[in-house]
Amino acid sequence: MSVAFVFPGQGSQAVGMGKPLADNFPQARHVFAEVDDALSEKLSATIWEGPADDLTLTENAQPALMAFSLAVMRVLEAEAGIDLKRDAQFVAGHSLGEYSALAAAGALSLSDTARLLRTRGRAMQKAVPVGTGAMAALIGLEFEQAAAVAAEAAQNQVCQAANDNGGGQVVISGDKSAVERAMEIAKSRGAKRAIMLPVSAPFHCALMQPAADVMAQALAAVSVKAPGVPVVANVLAKPISDPAEIVRRLVEQVTGTVRWRECVAFMAGAGVETFYELGAGKVLSGLVKRIAEGANGIAVGTPDDVAAFVSARR
């Protein structure tokens, strides 16, 4: 059976995530401790105890979600003998999850990944003054329709399709007034719903260029290796493994569209039948089932999930 491991993005965080795993497995504890050391602070305390407002801050949520995902990965390596090089055809992650995928595949060290995501979160937050940008989910339009709506609504402002999540869900991003215009146009074009998202900045659009510049510098300062398994890149929806290209695509990803529907469709088309979502929530597992007919999406984040995974591997 061909499998891929996928890693969730922002929005999946919840206070307490990963605590049962850390309580039960030393490998998970070590990951959270290493992230704390890399950031010179007890991010694990914020993850497990809150407050939720602090965890939701982009600069905290990004390394926190990665820490949980990598904790699950290390536990599966220890408990189920998982070796990504041998057992996975691909890895991929949604937005910040692409960093988790790269760390899991050995392209980035855990400490470097934590620091990069802290930098990325801060840079994305600072790129646009609070309240001037927005993101909205358009439900019931195909990607091409949503992209056309965004382009029409822009009117010399920024409005872009930011996430192509599949299943008729496209997220748009840009200047707040342009996004509001796009929501009205979308409804007139047959969208079932248009929902403003509770985010602190307009991610994955041209307004994020200052953050992309910051990430180009940050990524140039770390060691990036060829991953042990191909990483399906958000902005390409195809696998990459060359370190220089990985850096280039991570920089592009800050302002570019997360082509998640195409990423999953590519992996399914290449023979992947089961997608294991490691870490917080079940968002990607749900999307997999909507995008790839017959594919399995299985979330792994709790000790019970790990036990079920180990049992299924026997």
- Which residues participate in catalysis according to the annotation? 95, 204
Looking at residue 128, the DSSP 8-state letter turns out to be S
Which amino acid belongs to residue 133? G
Instruction: Write out the two tokens for 197.
Output: 């998202």
Tokens of 306: 């790990």
Q: Half-sphere exposure (CA, 13 Å, Cβ side) for 276?
A: 27
The two three-digit tokens of residue 235, written as one number: 């902005």
User: CA 256 to CA 151: how far, in whole Å?
Assistant: 15
Query: For residue 277, which of 259, 294, 296 has the smallest C-alpha distance?
Result: 296
Cβ neighbours of 52 (radius 10 Å): 11
Q: Of the candidates 246, 231, 237, 282, which has an alpha carbon nearest to the alpha carbon of residue 264?
A: 237
Q: Which region, left, alpha or beta, applies to residue 18 given φ > 0 means left and ψ of -120 to 50 means alpha?
A: left
**Structure token pair of residue 70:** 């990598």
